[in-house]
């Protein structure tokens, strides 16, 4: 047997890779025009046919590297001078779809070639557009009846309109089938994972994602944080807010600040604080409207959304069961325990009091039927306290209530009291055990301290921990983000709002913003609320996001009409700027505060060092602008206000 490659013309010029297998002495040639022959397939010896039904015979088999949809065929019989008599007169054609089992197409006759250069061959049989792996031609007779059989060329034509695979329910060849669509009831572009259907076309009111936690339009803290951040409310109400109202996280917000406290969650207090400022709260009266300080950026639709969230119980997550308080936190109550005094409602409407325990032995004074040990034995005569407590390390899930048997690995004790609560969640003493109630935001490790007391008033404190794991698989599928540019342009500078969050609720995402030249502009971290970059020069930026073991890179392009500094002419009347230096020194570093004595509207500041390098960029509206942690030396302060530019030399001397 001889095996070699043969070129098959398909659709005039399309070439398929086939393997030609024939008897000994087989020869082959193929010309694109089909009329010139220097050699042909020629077999003069019979061999075992691939189809065992034909036994020893003269045959030729074409095997495609992968199945093809074959339609028409065309044959050129032996046309070499003096060899047309060896041409095939009658042949049997079989084909195989799987390369093993044969299907008989039929017996066909060919005409004898004229041995001329203009010989064009003849049409062969139609294979019916079926999927074929192998084609087998078995010679039945030749024109001269001799020992040799010959064939010049065969062309198989592909049916390009046929599917050489499986047609799915939507009519696509090897398609994925009908996609799944998810209901988007609130039309925010995010679908409800609980309500879906399969359809080849997108139904009205459905989307291709299942990312909506609350498709009924219910709001959560992430929506409120976006409103506060995008309207610059967090500039004044952050970690160091003088009012104590911190809008950066849900946990700090619900504390309500120095004036309102928990009453900020009641009625229209929060909206009134933003809109009018005329609010009487638990600890004082709020007079200054937040919206005045931010230029009335919080609009009516946002105020409506905030009030809707408050009315729904101000949940941290939109899919949390809203908690509508049925009490006034801090108001007096009766917990039904005769051993407690000064009972009041806490923030979750639990009525709790202080233990009646004047001698601080951890036992209710009403249950002390005899004198305490301290009353009988002088303190100096008491034996050394050797009470030991074992450290406990609990691993729990979020949104859970668990009983912690902390005394199981401690020395025998007669009392158990809580010294310090964990940073998240709540501990209470229940029947000589600790009951822990976690919240949805309790993800991480939190320490707490309890005290046990035994004989002879011997007490010891034990520090233990609770680790709250995430409610979902800790490996994220990716980080989600969106951003938009606010063209609040001044000196070719723009503002960039970027919302970054991991698919794990509360998971911190670290970010770095790089200039076009690759140098870093800023870096920080966030756990779900928007990040605001102010006064960002126009250009192309790269932001690198990382969370757990995943890192993503996002390309940003900010465009703001350029205004050259030297094109800004000072006003006719010179601008007057007042500034002063606060020598709050720490290892040679100083704090510079600048107050701009102008009318309404923001003033922008750029601080350059003595080498002309830009050190800081900031802005302020009738409030001091503070540059912290500056080294001593000479600086140059550039101040821009409307069409006014002023440059002030500054020298910081901090020893």
With CA atoms as reference, report the closest residue to 436 among 446, 426, 422: 426
- Residue 145: pLDDT band (50, 70, 90) is very high
**Least confident residue range of 76-85, 482-491, 536-545:** 482-491
- Residue 44: pLDDT band (50, 70, 90) is very high
Numbers of helices and strands, H then E, in the chain: 7, 39
Is there a contact between 427 and 464 (Cβ–Cβ < 8 Å)?
no
Tell which wins on pLDDT, 108 or 391.
Answer: 108
Is there a contact between 214 and 319 (Cβ–Cβ < 8 Å)?
yes
Q: Which helix (H) or strand (E) holds 344?
A: strand 340-345
- 3-state SS of 375-390 is HHCCHHHCCCCCCCCC
Distance, CA of 302 to CA of 309 (rounded, Å):
11
Tell which wins on pLDDT, 78 or 521.
Answer: 78
Distance, CA of 76 to CA of 83 (rounded, Å):
13
- Residue 460 pLDDT exceeds 80: yes
Task: Average the pLDDT over 555-581 and give the result.
Answer: 50
Distance, CA of 110 to CA of 428 (rounded, Å):
98
Q: Given this model, what pLDDT does residue 161 score?
A: 82
Tell which wins on pLDDT, 126 or 270.
Answer: 126
- Residue 68 pLDDT exceeds 80: yes
Fold adopted by 569-652: Immunoglobulin-like (2.60.40)
- Residue 654: pLDDT band (50, 70, 90) is low
**Least confident residue range of 70-84, 524-538, 539-553, 584-598:** 584-598
Task: Average the pLDDT over 369-391 and give the result.
Answer: 62
Tell which wins on pLDDT, 287 or 44.
Answer: 44
Q: Given this model, what pLDDT does residue 448 score?
A: 92
The proportion of the chain whose per-residue pLDDT surpasses 70, expressed as a percent, equals 67
Q: Given this model, what pLDDT does residue 22 score?
A: 43
| CATH classification for the domain delimited by 479-558, as one of 3.40.50.720, 2.60.40.1930, 1.10.10.10, 3.40.50.300 | 2.60.40.1930
Mean pLDDT (the chain) is: 75
Distance, CA of 301 to CA of 289 (rounded, Å):
18
- Residue 122 pLDDT exceeds 50: yes
- Residue 458: pLDDT band (50, 70, 90) is confident
Residue 180 CA, chain-centre distance (Å), reads 21
Is there a contact between 355 and 338 (Cβ–Cβ < 8 Å)?
no
* Two tokens, residue 384: 């050394």
- Residue 459 pLDDT exceeds 50: yes
Task: Average the pLDDT over 96-123 and give the result.
Answer: 93
The winner for highest mean pLDDT among 73-82, 235-244, 577-586 is 73-82
- Residue 543: pLDDT band (50, 70, 90) is confident
Tens-place pLDDT, residues 358-376: 777 778 877 665 444 444 4
Strand partners, 636: 608, 649
Q: Given this model, what pLDDT does residue 141 score?
A: 96
Q: Given this model, what pLDDT does residue 419 score?
A: 92
Tell which wins on pLDDT, 498 or 210.
Answer: 210
DSSP assignments along 282-341, one per residue: SSSEE-S-HHHHTTS-S-HHHHHHHHHHHHTT--SSTTSPP----S-TT-B---S-TTEE
The winner for highest mean pLDDT among 174-183, 449-458, 508-517, 599-608 is 174-183
Q: Given this model, what pLDDT does residue 108 score?
A: 96
Strand partners, 634: 651
Q: Given this model, what pLDDT does residue 572 score?
A: 42
Tell which wins on pLDDT, 11 or 78.
Answer: 78
- Residue 642 pLDDT exceeds 80: no
Sign of the Cα torsion 249, 591, 523, 564 reads positive
- Residue 474: pLDDT band (50, 70, 90) is very low
Domain 2-158 matches domain 479-558 at the CATH topology level: no
Fold adopted by 2-158: Jelly Rolls (2.60.120)
* Residue recorded with tokens 């995008």: 230
Q: Given this model, what pLDDT does residue 284 score?
A: 52
Q: Are strands 493-502 and 479-486 parallel, antiparallel or unpaired?
A: antiparallel
The winner for highest mean pLDDT among 136-145, 247-256, 307-316 is 136-145
* Two tokens, residue 248: 């950066």
Distance, CA of 170 to CA of 180 (rounded, Å):
13
Fold adopted by 389-470: Immunoglobulin-like (2.60.40)
Q: Given this model, what pLDDT does residue 77 score?
A: 94
- Residue 49 pLDDT exceeds 90: yes
Q: Given this model, what pLDDT does residue 124 score?
A: 95
Task: Average the pLDDT over 20-34 and give the result.
Answer: 41
Residue count (the chain)? 655
- Residue 48: pLDDT band (50, 70, 90) is very high
Distance, CA of 414 to CA of 135 (rounded, Å):
93
| pTM of structure | 0.32
The winner for highest mean pLDDT among 233-242, 344-353, 403-412 is 403-412
Strand partners, 393: 465
- Residue 149 pLDDT exceeds 90: yes
Domain residue limits, the chain = 2-158, 221-311, 389-470, 479-558, 569-652
Q: Which helix (H) or strand (E) holds 485?
A: strand 479-486
Task: Average the pLDDT over 590-613 and give the result.
Answer: 67
Is there a contact between 284 and 305 (Cβ–Cβ < 8 Å)?
no
């Amino acid at each position: 047997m001889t095996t070699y490659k043969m070129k098959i013309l398909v659709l005039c010029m399309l070439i398929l890779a086939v393997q030609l297998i024939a008897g000994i002495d087989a020869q082959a040639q193929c010309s694109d025009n089909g009329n010139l022959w220097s050699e042909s397939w020629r077999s003069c010896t019979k061999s075992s046919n691939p189809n065992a039904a034909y036994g020893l015979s003269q045959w030729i088999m074409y095997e495609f590297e992968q199945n093809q949809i074959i339609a028409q065929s065309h044959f050129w019989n032996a046309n070499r001078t003096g060899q047309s008599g060896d041409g095939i007169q009658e042949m049997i054609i079989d084909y195989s779809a799987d390369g093993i089992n044969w299907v008989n197409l039929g017996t066909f006759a060919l005409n004898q070639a004229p041995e001329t250069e203009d010989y064009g061959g003849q049409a062969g049989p139609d294979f019916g557009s079926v999927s074929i792996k192998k084609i087998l031609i078995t010679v039945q007779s030749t024109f001269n009846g001799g020992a040799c059989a010959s064939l010049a060329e065969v062309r198989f034509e592909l049916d390009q309109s046929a599917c050489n695979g499986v047609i799915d329910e939507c009519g696509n060849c090897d398609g994925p089938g009908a996609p799944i669509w998810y209901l988007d009831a609130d039309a925010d572009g995010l679908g409800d994972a609980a309500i879906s259907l399969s359809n080849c076309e997108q139904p009205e009111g459905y989307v291709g994602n299942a990312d909506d936690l609350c498709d009924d339009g219910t709001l959560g803290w992430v929506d409120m944080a976006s409103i506060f951040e995008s309207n610059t409310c967090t500039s004044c109400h952050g970690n160091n807010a003088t009012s104590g109202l911190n809008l950066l996280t849900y946990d700090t917000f619900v504390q309500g600040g120095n004036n309102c406290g928990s009453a900020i969650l009641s009625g229209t207090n929060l909206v009134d604080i933003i809109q009018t400022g005329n609010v009487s709260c638990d600890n004082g009266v709020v007079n200054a409207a937040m919206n005045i300080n931010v230029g009335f950026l919080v609009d009516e639709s946002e105020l409506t959304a905030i009030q809707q969230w408050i009315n729904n119980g101000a949940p941290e997550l939109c899919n949390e069961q809203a908690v509508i308080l049925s009490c006034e936190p801090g108001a007096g109550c009766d917990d039904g325990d005769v051993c407690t005094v000064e009972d009041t409602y806490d923030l979750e409407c639990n009525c709790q009091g202080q233990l009646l325990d004047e001698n601080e032995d951890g036992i209710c004074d009403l249950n002390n039927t005899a004198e305490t040990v301290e009353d009988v034995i002088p303190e100096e005569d008491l034996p050394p306290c050797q009470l030991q407590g074992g450290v406990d390390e609990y691993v729990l899930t979020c949104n859970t209530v668990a009983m912690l048997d902390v005394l199981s690995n401690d020395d025998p004790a007669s009392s158990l009291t809580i010294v310090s609560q964990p940073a998240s969640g709540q501990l209470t003493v229940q029947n000589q055990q600790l009951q822990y109630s976690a919240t949805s935001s309790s993800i991480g490790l939190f320490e707490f301290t309890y005290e046990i007391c035994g004989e002879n008033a011997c007490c010891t404190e034990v520090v233990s921990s609770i680790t709250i794991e995430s409610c979902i698989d800790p490996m994220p599928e990716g980080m989600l983000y969106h951003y938009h540019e606010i063209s609040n342009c001044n000196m070719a500078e723009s503002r960039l709002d970027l919302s970054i969050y991991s698919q794990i609720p509360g998971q911190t995402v670290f970010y770095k913003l790089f200039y076009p030249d690759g140098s870093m502009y800023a870096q920080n971290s966030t756990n779900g609320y928007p990040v605001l970059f102010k006064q960002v020069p126009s250009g192309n930026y790269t932001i690198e996001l990382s969370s757990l073991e995943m890192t993503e890179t996002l390309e940003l392009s900010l465009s703001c009409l350029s205004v050259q500094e030297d094109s800004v002419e000072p006003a006719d009347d010179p601008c007057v700027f007042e500034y002063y230096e606060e020598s709050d020194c720490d290892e040679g570093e100083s704090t510079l505060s600048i107050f701009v004595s102008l009318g309404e509207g923001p003033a922008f500041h750029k601080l350059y060092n003595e080498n002309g390098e830009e050190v800081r960029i900031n802005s302020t509206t009738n409030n001091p602008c503070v540059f912290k942690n500056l080294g001593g030396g000479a600086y140059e302060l550039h101040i821009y206000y409307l069409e006014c530019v002023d440059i002030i030399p500054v020298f910081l001397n901090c020893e």
